Chain A
């Protein structure tokens, strides 16, 4: 059972991401004839964190579900966290093709993303060829993202931590960084963001996970 406040968590984050995309990566206006062609018009939202285990998969899944309800196009959640083993309950765990095959073949053909709900939300796993080194190859990353952009209005990447994102960072349109308020220090987070060298305008914002009990406004809180 969701409380009203909890139910608004991801819609708020989704609105922030969409506003950021409108400002920094608007969908190019195209003539009607050209719009029919399957140009890679989709935008890529990368969800990462300064270190592993800060809740980025949870945020990525919630964000994808919220975005699917907040705009008209199809949204796909992609497991791009090649740096860790898949979760036990991952439906793509047993040998199914996924992002790594798209990055290798450059096409969605032959793949069947799983519908994750009655709306426009889809899911795809990492695939059997997933290796952390694959994310360091700009050509493979570009090929995979181009195929996803062509098929979906929004691609939400459940990415590794910032240091393992490799070429994903340079090619995503927006980056959401999850920070665990219980574990991550200011210094570590600053250093990770500095080393990531995100291009200006790529950092959509932060999500503060495991936020402690907030101080009420009448006491001077946020």
Chain B
């Protein structure tokens, strides 16, 4: 038995490359699970915010005309709040409410709500959208799942002492590799060892 020499150049690189190549499904599964978990555990807090808006809209209704301004642009989830605020204002025929919807300017739902029931004499201030300040809830989980998947795949591929390629087997055991057989179904195995009928 020959002494085992140092790993040939490229063997380590080959194994590193094999991590995403061989375990793409596993990594994708982890990312998907992370994204779903993230979206489930950290949903957009729409409902509680809407409840915050209602009393404030009530204050607008009770106030003298042109007295109160409700700034939704500083609220998280301004788009959802704005829709609700527009509806409440329309229903109450608030004439002096000023809704500032800067952060929610591009929301189609607001446009639809305004078309259906514009505040009677209200002034809706729109500003160019600056984009959402809060990333979608699934993105952090997606990224974490991706990293976790890469970690698990790396452990599976790089950990242990299994020989996963002919080059590695030849290096480890010091003997040539005559052949390599993939994992086959029973049917494929039977077909392979069946003597050729052409002989």
Binding site for B on A (CB under 8 A): 1-2, 6-7, 9-10, 12-13, 16-17, 55, 58-59, 61-62, 65, 68-69, 116-119, 121, 176-177, 179, 181-187, 189-190, 193-194, 203-216, 219-222
Contacts and interface: CB of A to CB of B under 8 A. Distances in A.
Given A9-B192, A182-B162, A211-B182, 15 more contacts: A6-B191, A12-B178, A65-B196, A117-B196, A179-B173, A186-B172, A193-B1, A193-B173, A204-B178, A207-B178, A212-B22, A215-B165, A216-B21, A219-B21, A221-B17
Interface string B174-198: 0111111111100011011111110
Given A1-B191, A212-B164, A214-B165, A207 B172 contact: no
A222 B175 CA distance: 16
Contacts of A59: 181
A119 B196 contact: yes
B6 interface: no
Interface residues of B, number: 41
Contacts, number: 155
Nearest to B183: A210
A221 B175 contact: no
A205 B22 contact: no
B21, B160, B197 — most chain A CB neighbours (10 Å)? B21
A118 B197 contact: yes
Contacts of B195: 65, 68, 116-119, 121
Given A189-B163, A215-B14, A210 B182 contact: yes
Nearest to A3: B188
B161, B169, B183 — most chain A CB neighbours (10 Å)? B169
9 contacts: A9-B179, A13-B178, A68-B199, A117-B194, A118-B199, A189-B163, A208-B179, A211-B183, A220-B17
Contact of B189 (A17, A58, A121, A190): A58
